[in-house]
Structure 1
Amino acid sequence: MNFIRQIERMQLLNKLIREQRTGSPEELAKRLGVSRRQLYAYLEYLKDFGLDICFSRKLNSFMYCDEQEIKIDLKIQVLKPSESRRIMGGWAFRLIA
């Protein structure tokens, strides 16, 4: 479930940046339940996707500088046996090796 918690943090971080209401780095880290160092690791992760993130002292918030956004989704779905048979999940690659 740690993975799901990280996805939820990223979704909240993205939402707060998009709405330009993150607060200071310390406030944001506390809101996300992470250290300041971890917060900057999350921000770097978003930057790795090509997003330009900057901090506005006037707004006291991180923001997307170039008005780009990212969509972060997690979908969990129960599959019927007929649906799961159609998913190879990398099985076909074993035949190549």
Structure 2
Amino acid sequence: MNIIIKQIELIERIDQLIRMQATGNPVELADRLGISKTKLYRTINTMRELNAPVVYDMTSQSFIYEKSVGFSFGFYHKNGDPDMLNPFVR
């Protein structure tokens, strides 16, 4: 189970860096995250499988979203109560 949580946390961190326009090139991003470039590309591909429009922009030398999207993962009360049940949801 811990592996799933780590993967979600990694996706959340990459998402945050993309939104901040602060990924840099793949080598820089993998180094910043403390993972291999191979693991970075596997994670980016997982994000794409989840419909994230992630692309690498050669001009900015950074990963970007081609269109505006949001990402959240976790459980919430059905009545729309903002008190989340999962601490990983931000």
Residue 4 of structure 1 and its aligned partner are, at CA, apart by 3.1
Q: Residues 17 and 64 of structure 1 are in contact (CA less than 8 Å); yes or no, is this contact kept in structure 2?
A: yes
Q: Residues 18 and 69 of structure 1 are in contact (CA less than 8 Å); yes or no, is this contact kept in structure 2?
A: no
Question: More displaced, 1-10 or 44-53?
Answer: 1-10
Distance 1:73 1:14 in 2: 16
| TM-score, normalization by structure 1 | 0.67
Distance 1:45 1:31 in 2: 19
Residue by residue, what CA displacement relative to the aligned partner does 1:17-73 show, whole Å, maximum 9, x if unpaired? Answer: 122210010010111111111101100111011121111222221011012232245
Q: Structure with the greater relative contact order (CA < 8 A, sep ≥ 6): 1 or 2?
A: 1
List aligned pairs for 1:1-97, cutoff 5 A.
1-73=2-74, 75=86
Distance 2:33 2:6 in 1: 10
Aligned to 1:55, the other structure's residue is in SS state strand
Distance 1:72 1:15 in 2: 14
Aligned to 1:26, the other structure's residue is in SS state helix
Structure 2 letter corresponding to 1:27: E
In the alignment of these two chains, the number of paired residues is 76
Q: Which runs of 4+ in 1 moved over 6 A?
A: none
Distance 2:56 2:68 in 1: 13
Identity %: 30
Q: CA RMSD in A?
A: 1.9
| TM-score, normalization by structure 2 | 0.71
